[in-house]
Chain A
């Protein structure tokens, strides 16, 4: 079929087909990513604002959050006391702004500690066969104690301090993280390229460093945001029932615990910290959901 000369004006041209749906605008770069993942954009922005608020607390029109003033107890919110004052006359606005420091610190600290310890346990469990059985039985046991109850029980032993709160919540969160990591490690070990590395005589630490750890980053990041959100809620619960952060330090949970006795008559004392806490946890959760969808849509079912 050598191409014979054809008169271009006489060829039969196919009729072009119409568009049946509006064209899609492909958005690229940073803003495109944010447009496609609105939950990351919204959650990230709110979280960033809360962190800035916690850092710059002294410059946001606050007064000393621990300053007692019995003369001006339980004032309703007003121009002077934006969120009112509590039963000891302390300014609720200042306490709520400073309270962000404790809640965020506890959230981030637990997320980091639980991730590191959980990662270590998970990797060991995934690689060392004889340890796996023992470790997983222990994790099963810890997971059979409802995590809030576990944290409460641990707090009951110790004196209330921010460090102990972090420790108690971390212990309660570790089993979940290590199970996740172990699952990822075990599934990666089945991968042909890991088999190939083992067959080529690569030493285990190098396999872990090169093939295993990079693949745990995505699920770990997502899990860490959920741990962070959960830790902030557990902190507030512990403080609320009187087994958490010492009352002297203003945390959102503490402010609510103090407003508890008066909630029927002075609901604002509970309302404002509750609002800030909920918005912050919501932001972290949105960030986590967004990251999960963006990093690996198939992970949605595992978490």
Chain B
């Protein structure tokens, strides 16, 4: 049994001019201790998927259907109170914007300590002592002083470290990181990714990392899920995905990634772009979701939505024309 099993997850939102099918039938799993990346363009439903796992989607206007089993329990069937005892405790989350994700009027120590007081029943003094330890763990100098400071007194990178400290305070089994490095400078990005890798080793949590940055994926993930227009279109181990992408969308994504120094080595090629726009999610689509932008589209693609098929060992893709290897049965 996997740590997290998401099956046919649908998250829809009621809007004034129709129902937005932000996530429409996503299935995946995460094993204990594993790092899985979910990639895709903005608006493909990857963040909504992450928020749905913790049930942080406001209902209404949203609605979540399907099943999300964590350690065998379906999170969608839990009461609000049971759900709260999981959030920040067994599953925790860090967000994209370290500048705005911390409460400006509470000290750093209070914000780290809150999780500990909620889930481990610590006293205020114990929580603060532990907060200092957590700050030390995430590599913040002078933790004794920092613990009494407010977020505006910290730099962006430090705030993201504080977010990580909050998320890891209760030793969660699963950490969901939604674009954890997007808002940071490149050098800080690398530091934060290193920190996450180190902490993963010490804490042993599984990580779901949501990103649009394939560089980040290559660096930290073991397995990759590619999402497009609210659906999973491909899934494979990092090596297979980068070496032999099966879905034309994944191929497009990889083709639009600049290679460092390519203009110096002489193999300068024009960056590919994916033509067209992501289709509106407000109406049901017939056929393949990528048909409107795919260079290989046929009438079949427009008529019949391709199912996710195993094209190679552990490598699934939703494309009629993706070549199939002989799968070891």
Contact = CB atoms under 8 A, between A and B. Distances in A.
**A/B contact in complex, CB under 8 angstroms:** yes
B106 interface: no
Contacts of B10: 17-18, 20
Contact of A14 (B15, B296, B306, B322): B306
Given A13-B305, A21-B63, A3 B16 contact: no
Mostly, the B contact residues are mixed
Contact of A23 (B18, B307, B320): B18
A11 interface: yes
Contact of B296 (A3, A13, A20): A3
A18 B65 CA distance: 10
Contact of B19 (A3, A6, A11, A19): A19
Contact of A17 (B24, B307, B320, B323): B24
Interface string A185-208: 000000000000000000000000
Nearest to A19: B19
Interface string B288-318: 0000000010101001111111000000001
B307 A21 contact: no
A11 B288 CA distance: 12
Contact of A6 (B21, B303, B320): B320
Nearest to A28: B17
Contacts of A26: 16-18
Most buried by A among B10, B15, B63, B323: B10
A6 B15 contact: no
Contact of B12 (A1, A14, A16, A20): A20
Contacts of A248: none
A193 B69 CA distance: 51
A12 interface: yes
A15 interface: yes
Nearest to B230: A17
Contacts of A265: none
B305 A16 contact: yes
B77 interface: no
B323 A14 contact: no
A24 interface: yes
A1 B318 CA distance: 15
Contacts, number: 65
Interface residues of B, number: 31
A23 B63 CA distance: 13
Contact of A15 (B14, B21, B248, B307): B307
A297 to B, nearest CB: 12
Nearest to B61: A21
B306 A13 contact: yes
B255 interface: no
Contact of B15 (A15, A18, A19, A24): A24
B44 to A, nearest CB: 16
B67 interface: no
28 contacts: A1-B321, A3-B296, A3-B298, A3-B321, A4-B321, A8-B300, A8-B303, A11-B304, A11-B306, A13-B304, A13-B305, A13-B307, A14-B305, A14-B306, A14-B307, A14-B308, A17-B10, A19-B12, A20-B10, A20-B12, A21-B12, A21-B14, A21-B19, A23-B19, A24-B17, A24-B19, A26-B16, A26-B18
Given A4-B321, A16-B305, A24-B16, 13 more contacts: A1-B321, A6-B321, A8-B304, A11-B300, A12-B306, A13-B304, A13-B305, A14-B305, A14-B308, A17-B8, A20-B10, A20-B12, A23-B19
